[in-house]
A and B are shown apart, each in its own frame.
Chain A
Amino acid sequence: MTVQQWTFVIVGLTFCLYIGVAIWARAGSTKEFYVAGGGVSPLANGMATAADWMSAASYLSMAGLISFMGYGGSQYLMGWTGGYVLLALLLAPYLRKFGKFTVPDFIGERYYSKQARLVALICAIFVSFTYVVGQMKGVGVAFARFLEIPFSTGIFVGIGIVFFYAVLGGMKGITYTQVAQYCVLIFAYTVPAIFISIQMVGNPIPQIGMGSTLSDGTYLLDKLNLLSKDLGFEEYTKSGIEDRVNVFFITAALMFGTAGLPHVIVRFFTVPKVRDARKSAGYALFFIAILYTTAPAVAAFARTNLIQTVSNKPYAEMPEWFKKWEAAELINFSDKNGDGKIQYLAANQQNELVIDRDIMVLANPEIAKLPAWVIALVVAGGLAAALSTAAGLLLVIATSISHDLFKNYLKPNISEKGELLSARIAIAVAVVAAGLAGLNPPGFVAQVVALAFGLAAASFFPAIILGIFDKRMNKEGAISGMIIGIVFTALYIWYFKPQLGGPGQPSDYWFGIKPEGIGIIGMLLNLVVSFAVSRLTSPPPLEVQNLVEEIRIPRGAREATH
């Protein structure tokens, strides 16, 4: 069978699996719709959280980024995992004890204020929507490239699948589908990595293989450093000083942003107990770590393989995958010195080869000459990653609209049935809107993802932490902190992102901090302002102080309610 036939078969089978799971796990009440009935086991919730968290970007783009950035790529590895420690230690158990459905629920009640709830609500929708558009685009790209279905048809198929199980099953359907999607994506990610590791260094565990020796007796990383240096690139494992400043800030912004993202936080409302919320965060990170420790190995293998395959080799002898990606305009060769060979160099004037970083994971099995079914598996994994993240985000948007906006703002006496119906309508509208935006994404989508993390770090994270750990924190403090944090972060990102029309130049960065890392300064500002303002205004009412006392101890956790 050809790669394309294999892809049809494997993608088709996985889609049938998701639909089957969705029919089995239908939601019958708002509680099932919002928090899967609150009865998900910590292990299943851990897998679902992992699938929810690992997006098309983690799956398809991250290893490629690392393979071109070397040490610099560490910011994604640490940034997108370290946040779970904060989540497990500082947020998840207390929010589970609080026992409501959403993040705006917590902000609204802890700060006894409808305005605070509204600020949280707008942030939650903004952050989730930017994110989901990127996922939809990822689905379209995967379909277009591998099944040779037009981009738009690919997105419609994606919308159809998510629509089916999200509208039918709500959080319950999404959770159990995500468990299945996790299994598909992790299998699809590790299998090629294991094959390649055996091929290159003779060790079946990529995490160890990365530090092993090649057949000529040199260590893989030493060899890669040498190859990179010969071609004029930085040594792969080396870190410059400017590197370190930005790796520091970006890592921190991604960590605190992770811990503040509503679609991640809400997952911990679905387990039965406080104890389970803690454990579940551990499982989630364990499942995420399997992919995140494999990715840097894939990156190093791919980089070495790529350089050895193309550097200084005659263009006419390039393998089939080279031509294929060239046809897709993701590899570009121009023979500047006319010698018929490929000069792949760091210096722009002599370099003849430009490679799109996003193709590394997809092209890797082909570069390593793995069988066709492995390549098909990678595509199915990419789709699983994109669909599971999209579904989790869409649920946050729908819940925010039906629960926070509709039920708590506009129509408080809506019946259970009415609310369930409005939640279904909201998610249906959200799926279609995200799909349409994915069809025609505004050029700045990729840029705004930085904004999503920055805003989550600068708004939700401090507001929730202070709500739990500082009993004296009042609504004046929290609201002014959130507003200062958001405004500062958004302005800085806008100012220094030419893609958003900002006039700033990189040379004007404050302390050399890139826009991707500024959320952490926004967060500190938020903390300082909240603290100062709260101490100058009156303490929160007694019942709110009692609520804080109450969420600090596990005993008496009720099931999540309205």
Chain B
Amino acid sequence: MKDRKAYWNKNLKYLFILLVVWFTVSFGCGILFVETLNTIKLGGFPLGFWFAQQGSIYTFVFLIFIYVYLMNKLDKEFDVDEK
């Protein structure tokens, strides 16, 4: 029972960190700070605009696969994975 609690808390920690990144790239870089970032150029892209129309989407895909990796490892560590 104690193990389960530790497993769940660790899961919540992962979720928190990943969702902070999720919020930062989309709502942060893509919306709230877009004009500031637009002063920086990434090739032909203003950086804020790039985050809003490209970068945030790449990050989303990346985040899910990191989550898959972390959780598979965590499931094994706490011996709650599927046989």
Q: Give chain A's interface residues, CB within 8 Å of chain B.
A: 66, 71, 73-74, 77-78, 81-82, 84-85, 88-90, 93, 207-208, 210-213, 219-222, 237-239, 244, 247-248, 251-252, 273-275, 278-279, 281-282, 285-286, 289, 292-293, 296, 549, 552-557
When the two chains form their complex, are residues A220 and B44 in contact, meaning their CB atoms are under 8 A apart? yes
CB-based closest 5 A-B pairs: A219-B44, A74-B52, A211-B44, A282-B64, A296-B53
When the two chains form their complex, are residues B60 and A81 in contact, meaning their CB atoms are under 8 A apart? yes
Query: How far does the Cβ of A370 sit from chain B's closest Cβ, in whole Å?
Result: 24
Name B19's closest neighbour in chain A (CB-CB): A89
The answer, among A221, A279, A289, A556, for a CB contact under 8 Å with B44, is: A221
The answer, among A66, A220, A554, for a CB contact under 8 Å with B82, is: A554
CB neighbours of B68 from chain A (8 A): 88, 275, 278-279, 282
When the two chains form their complex, are residues A251 and B31 in contact, meaning their CB atoms are under 8 A apart? yes
Main secondary structure of the interface of A (DSSP, over half): helix
A74 CA to B38 CA, complexed, in Å: 14
CB neighbours of B38 from chain A (8 A): 237-239
CB neighbours of A557 from chain B (8 A): 82
Q: Which of B34-50 contact A (CB under 8 A)?
A: 34-35, 38, 42-46, 48-50
Name A281's closest neighbour in chain B (CB-CB): B64
- A sample of 5 cross-chain residue pairs with beta-carbon separation below 8 angstroms, ordered by A number, consists of A82-B26, A212-B43, A219-B43, A248-B31, A293-B57
When the two chains form their complex, are residues A275 and B52 in contact, meaning their CB atoms are under 8 A apart? no
With A85-B63, A221-B46, A279-B68 as given contacts, are A78 and B58 in contact (CB-CB < 8 Å)? no
CB neighbours of B82 from chain A (8 A): 273-275, 554-557
When the two chains form their complex, are residues B57 and A289 in contact, meaning their CB atoms are under 8 A apart? yes
When the two chains form their complex, are residues A85 and B60 in contact, meaning their CB atoms are under 8 A apart? yes
Name B44's closest neighbour in chain A (CB-CB): A219
When the two chains form their complex, are residues A88 and B67 in contact, meaning their CB atoms are under 8 A apart? yes
CB neighbours of B67 from chain A (8 A): 88-89, 278, 282
With A74-B53, A251-B30, A278-B68 given, can you name 17 additional A-B contacts, CB distance below 8 Å? A71-B52, A77-B53, A85-B18, A89-B15, A89-B19, A237-B38, A237-B49, A244-B32, A244-B34, A248-B31, A251-B31, A252-B27, A275-B82, A285-B64, A555-B79, A555-B81, A555-B82
Q: Which of B50-71 contact A (CB under 8 A)?
A: 50, 52-54, 56-58, 60-61, 63-65, 67-68, 71
With A74-B52, A78-B57, A555-B82 as given contacts, are A210 and B31 in contact (CB-CB < 8 Å)? no
CB neighbours of B22 from chain A (8 A): 82, 85
Query: How far does the Cβ of A34 sit from chain B's closest Cβ, in whole Å?
Result: 22
With A211-B43, A296-B53 as given contacts, are A251 and B64 in contact (CB-CB < 8 Å)? no
With A221-B45, A553-B7, A554-B81 as given contacts, are A285 and B52 in contact (CB-CB < 8 Å)? no
When the two chains form their complex, are residues A296 and B80 in contact, meaning their CB atoms are under 8 A apart? no
When the two chains form their complex, are residues A555 and B80 in contact, meaning their CB atoms are under 8 A apart? yes
CB neighbours of A74 from chain B (8 A): 30-31, 49, 52-53
The answer, among A88, A244, A553, for a CB contact under 8 Å with B31, is: A244
Q: Does B4 contact A (CB under 8 A)?
A: yes
CB neighbours of A77 from chain B (8 A): 52-53, 56-57
Query: How far does the Cβ of A255 sit from chain B's closest Cβ, in whole Å?
Result: 8
A220 CA to B45 CA, complexed, in Å: 9
Among B27, B38, B63, B64, the most chain A Cβ lie within 10 Å of the Cβ of B64
Query: How far does the Cβ of A553 sit from chain B's closest Cβ, in whole Å?
Result: 4
When the two chains form their complex, are residues B45 and A211 in contact, meaning their CB atoms are under 8 A apart? yes
A293 CA to B18 CA, complexed, in Å: 21
Query: How far does the Cβ of B39 sit from chain A's closest Cβ, in whole Å?
Result: 12
CB neighbours of A281 from chain B (8 A): 64
A274 CA to B83 CA, complexed, in Å: 11
CB neighbours of B18 from chain A (8 A): 85, 89
When the two chains form their complex, are residues A289 and B60 in contact, meaning their CB atoms are under 8 A apart? yes
The answer, among B32, B45, B48, B58, for a CB contact under 8 Å with A210, is: B45
When the two chains form their complex, are residues B57 and A292 in contact, meaning their CB atoms are under 8 A apart? yes
Among B11, B46, B60, B79, the most chain A Cβ lie within 10 Å of the Cβ of B60
Query: How far does the Cβ of A533 sit from chain B's closest Cβ, in whole Å?
Result: 24
CB neighbours of B42 from chain A (8 A): 211
CB neighbours of A292 from chain B (8 A): 57
With A71-B34, A251-B31 as given contacts, are A210 and B44 in contact (CB-CB < 8 Å)? yes
CB neighbours of A289 from chain B (8 A): 57-58, 60-61
CB neighbours of A207 from chain B (8 A): 54
With A210-B44, A555-B80 as given contacts, are A247 and B31 in contact (CB-CB < 8 Å)? yes
The answer, among B44, B50, B71, for a CB contact under 8 Å with A213, is: B44
A252 CA to B30 CA, complexed, in Å: 12
When the two chains form their complex, are residues A211 and B64 in contact, meaning their CB atoms are under 8 A apart? no
CB neighbours of B64 from chain A (8 A): 84-85, 88-89, 278, 281-282, 285
